[in-house]
Amino acid sequence: MGDDLSIDQDPGLPMETIRGIPVSSGIVIGRVFRLGEAEQRVPHRRIESGEVDREIERMETAFEEAIADLEALRDRTRVQLGAEPAKIFEFHVGLLRDPSLRKPIRTRIETDLVVAEWAVADEFRAVADRFAAMGNEVFAQKTADIIDLDRRVLDRLMGENTSRLATLEEPVIIVAHELTPSQTAGMDRTKVLGFATDLGGRTSHVSIVAKAVDIPAVVGCQRISRIAENGDLVIVDGDGGTVILDPTDEILADYRARQTRVTSYRAELRRSAGLEAITVDGSSISLLGNIEFPDEIPSVLDNGGAGVGLYRTEFLYLTSGHEPSEDDHYQAYRTAISHLGGRPLTIRTQDLGADKYTQTQAEEPERNPFLGCRSIRYSLLHLPEFKTQLRAILRAAAAGPVKVMFPLVSTVMEIRQAKMLLADVAEELDEEGVERGRDVSIGMMVEVPSAALMARAFSSEVDFFSIGTNDLIQYTLAVDRGNERVANLYTGASPAVIQLVKNVVRAARRREIEVSLCGELAGEPIYTMLLLGLGLRTLSMVPTQIPLIKTVIRAVTIDHCERIARKVGTFDSERQVLNYLRDELRKIDPGSPGGWTAD
């Protein structure tokens, strides 16, 4: 799989092959340009009380200058790359304008009597920590955005405005521990062929920007920045998630041939985004997008998505560091509804608990919060906070179609309590004369084995299921996907996981309720035919994967997919499943580059 990270070296060859996560398609060959982490040395210098006003003024000026830089970058990006990547920098501008970010910095300068540089760095570090410790891979990847803003403001305070990327004189491949969105967006496409980083994930903003500027990229390579040296010959395969250092002549020739095939295939794939997601025998499949921010919705629509199947709402807490108000929630949801223009929006309620934001507020932090008071359990123990979100969801639902979805439900009592609370909130709004949505579907995430095994009982309690395979795999196989020692055991091809998915779909069909799948498996083409064969007709994924999955759907019949599912049901190992699915995918699309069929 793409998450199976390893470093292989054939002792007979002078090269190393590093496996990472492919996030931007294409194959490039060039020389390494190592980019350091570029962390500023921030002085921890004390000031006199009479200098406080001057330091606050310096801080405010630095923020405004950084905002001006970002607005200029946003405008250039919109013209050169389109609205989607420009929205990222709009979010950055909004964060820098947020009073809740500047106020603690001013307070630190006034009370601790420190220079503006130190107060700025300390507050941005705290915000980045909240993202990194969220307990959710998607939000942990947002730390690069915070680091980017931190460096921008500090650059203005410390007079460091130059970038090594701006001094490139010949085409190179960037190798770095990590990159920021603005570094990626600012890359000269004639000088930067591609990049590979130690950190990163499929849904990080750096990955989104890499796709937008069409720079092949592989992230999550763990220690590529410590292995590669300036000037090394390197191949970056953004389709297969492979980085090869010092390749042999034979490997070079092979990848140059692949380059030609990939270029042709990608051009054809881009033309399919606007086509219907319909099988050869006429079955319509609904392809939706997963988002964390409302401004990601244009990307869903541009890639041919029919709506949003998973809107993660935790960002409201992470970007401010405090509990959002009902109006904060409402404005975010209304923005999402407006972007969708009548298309469906599925809002997942807050998935908090296994994160630093909540753990630092607890009198006694949990020893193992991922198996503790998180998600729906956390919400049901923090009713005022939960009701605030539910009120905002119901109010926003008056403006367009909305579904509400409860995360990590493991018992029938939990879903009944959540439904009862939603009904209470609706009654309160009616008594207050507040307009609300009247036709809000209620659903649940199926993310733990207990819920999958008891799907038949749950099916009488909800209007729809959404199978979250990321956690379902983790809890079924007892594998922490973030632990590199056992990462090879984390796989959606496990017969146990497939059996649980099958059980959920069967239960939903019997009760005639909707069922979708919104984990990473939805966006991996090797699983598409299996998922259709198991009976799924709605898949929600990272927006940029929609055209690829649509291409597979348009090449198959449901009958073929059902035969595949029956055959997979006879296997007892994930390796058998993967080999078979890979072979079947190649049969329907023998002209594909091949990299994305590997698992």
CA 227 to chain centroid, in Å, comes to 27
What pLDDT is recorded for position 358? 47
- Average pLDDT of the chain is 84
More reliable by pLDDT, 294 or 446: 446
What pLDDT is recorded for position 1? 37
Look at 44-58, 224-238, 308-322, 542-556 and tell me which has the smallest mean pLDDT.
Answer: 308-322
Q: If pLDDT is split at 50, 70 and 90, which confidence band does 43 have?
A: low
CB 117 within 8 A of CB 39: no
- How many CB atoms sit inside 10 A of residue 112's CB? 12
- pLDDT score of 590 more than 90: no
Q: Tens of pLDDT along 262-296?
A: 777 767 777 778 899 999 999 999 999 988 788 88
H/E element holding 469?
Answer: helix 469-477
CB 238 within 8 A of CB 218: yes
Instruction: State both tokens at 120.
Output: 């700025």
Look at 198-212, 239-253, 276-290, 373-387 and tell me which has the smallest mean pLDDT.
Answer: 198-212
What is the mean pLDDT of the segment spanning 518-546?
92
Look at 257-266, 381-390, 533-542, 556-565 and tell me which has the smallest mean pLDDT.
Answer: 257-266
What pLDDT is recorded for position 204? 63
Tell me which residues are annotated as active site: 205, 518
Give which of 212, 240, 219, 247 is closest to 17, Cα–Cα. Answer: 247
- pLDDT score of 159 more than 50: yes
% of the chain exceeding 90 in pLDDT: 48
Q: Tens of pLDDT along 59-107?
A: 999 999 889 888 888 887 777 666 667 777 887 888 888 888 889 999 9
% of the chain exceeding 70 in pLDDT: 82
What pLDDT is recorded for position 235? 96
The burial class, CB within 10 Å (0-12 / 13-18 / 19+), for 382 is: middle
More reliable by pLDDT, 393 or 58: 393
Distance CA 179, CA 206 (A): 7
In CATH, the number for domain 49-158 is 1.10.274.10
Q: Domain map of the chain by residue range?
A: 7-38+163-251, 49-158
What is the mean pLDDT of the segment spanning 439-458?
97
What pLDDT is recorded for position 443? 98
- According to DSSP, the β-strands at 286-291 and 21-24 are unpaired
What is the mean pLDDT of the segment spanning 437-459?
96
What pLDDT is recorded for position 125? 83
What pLDDT is recorded for position 39? 44
Q: If pLDDT is split at 50, 70 and 90, which confidence band does 190 have?
A: confident
Q: If pLDDT is split at 50, 70 and 90, which confidence band does 599 have?
A: very low
- pLDDT score of 5 more than 50: no
What pLDDT is recorded for position 40? 47
What pLDDT is recorded for position 78? 75
What pLDDT is recorded for position 342? 95
- pLDDT score of 354 more than 60: no
More reliable by pLDDT, 84 or 566: 566
More reliable by pLDDT, 470 or 495: 495
* Cα Rg of the chain, angstroms: 24
Q: How many residues does the chain have?
A: 599
Q: Tens of pLDDT along 294-308?
A: 888 998 998 899 999
More reliable by pLDDT, 502 or 116: 502
H/E element holding 481?
Answer: none
What pLDDT is recorded for position 360? 44
Look at 231-235, 358-362, 444-448, 569-573 and tell me which has the smallest mean pLDDT.
Answer: 358-362
Q: Which CATH architecture has domain 7-38+163-251?
A: 3-Layer(bba) Sandwich (3.50)
Dihedrals phi, psi of 406, to nearest 5 degrees? -100, 135
CB 48 within 8 A of CB 112: no
What pLDDT is recorded for position 91? 78
What pLDDT is recorded for position 333? 96
What pLDDT is recorded for position 172? 94
What CA–CA distances, in Å, run from 585 to 83, 146, 363, 511, 551?
Answer: 33, 40, 52, 32, 11
